[in-house]
Structure 1
Amino acid sequence: MFTRIMVPVDLAHLEPLDRALRCAADLAKHYGAVIVYVGVGAATPGSVAHNPQEFAQKMSEFAEAQAEVHGVSTEGVAMTSPDPTTDLDPTLLKAVDQVGADLVVMASHIPNLTDYFWPSNGGTIAAKAKISVMVVR
């Protein structure tokens, strides 16, 4: 049913992603799908990497580590954005097409007051993507 599962990841904040990472791995095993981990970073130095090439290398290393831990096929894709904070949703939506995903599995937070004013990333991706989106809390 699914062949390419896209999982957005923030390498600076992996702990809150644990349930979504495990869920994607379970689905990949069940369907024999490839997981494509997508990270969005800036072209400028940040806490994760000094430049886009280093960020791409770290995404590849993360994907390889997840493949080993979960026993699934993986890929790591690094997307660059001028401002990942404000451009995250459009960049992830572009990534869906670029990686050929047919499912997105992404982590979400417990809704709070700010969600009435600013939509969550998971909600925006689920509303705008042309493929299935599973938001994991």
Structure 2
Amino acid sequence: MFQRIMVPVDLAHEKRLEKSLGLAADLARQYGATVIYVAISAATPGSVAHTPGEFADKLSRFATDQGKAHNIATESHAVTSHDPSIDLDPALLKAVNEIKADLVVMASHVPNITDYLWPSNGGTVASHAPVSVMVVR
């Protein structure tokens, strides 16, 4: 049913992703799918990496580690943005097409008052993606 599962990840907050990572791995095993971990970073030095190349390498190692831990096929797709906080939703939607994903599994956050003013990333991706999206809380 699914062949390419996209999982957006924030390498600065890996611990918060356990449920979505586990669900994506379970689905990948069930359907023999590949999980593609997508992450977005600025071109400037940040808390995760100093350069886009270093960021891509860390994401690639993350994908390899996830593949070994869950016995699944994995890939990584790093995106460089001038302002990841502004570009996150459009970059994720673009990545769906670039990697030819047929499912997105992404972590959510606990809703709060700001969600009434600004939509969540999961909600935006789910509303606009051309494929099914599972938002995991």
With the length of structure 2 as denominator, give the TM-score of the two structures: 0.99
Q: CA deviation at 1:26?
A: 0.3
- The percent of aligned pairs where both chains have the same amino acid is 64
1:80-103 Cα shifts (integer Å, max 9, x gaps): 110001110000001000011000
Unaligned runs of 5+ in 2: none
List aligned pairs for 1:75-90, cutoff 5 A. Answer: 75-90=75-90
Matched residue SS, 1:13: helix
Rounded to whole Å, the distance in 2 between the matches of 1:52 and 1:69 is 25
Q: Which runs of 4+ in 1 moved over 6 A?
A: none
Specify the alignment match of 2:96 in structure 1.
96
Specify the alignment match of 1:33 in structure 2.
33
Considering only aligned residues, what root-mean-square deviation do their CA atoms show, in Å? 0.5
Specify the alignment match of 1:65 in structure 2.
65
List aligned pairs for 1:43-62, cutoff 5 A. Answer: 43-62=43-62
Unaligned runs of 5+ in 1: none
Q: Which amino acid aligns with 1:34?
A: T
Rounded to whole Å, the distance in 2 between the matches of 1:109 and 1:13 is 12
Rounded to whole Å, the distance in 1 between the matches of 2:130 and 2:77 is 20
1:58-90 Cα shifts (integer Å, max 9, x gaps): 010000000010000000110011000111000
Specify the alignment match of 2:112 in structure 1.
112
Rounded to whole Å, the distance in 2 between the matches of 1:36 and 1:42 is 20
Rounded to whole Å, the distance in 2 between the matches of 1:133 and 1:81 is 23
Rounded to whole Å, the distance in 2 between the matches of 1:58 and 1:109 is 24
With the length of structure 1 as denominator, give the TM-score of the two structures: 0.99
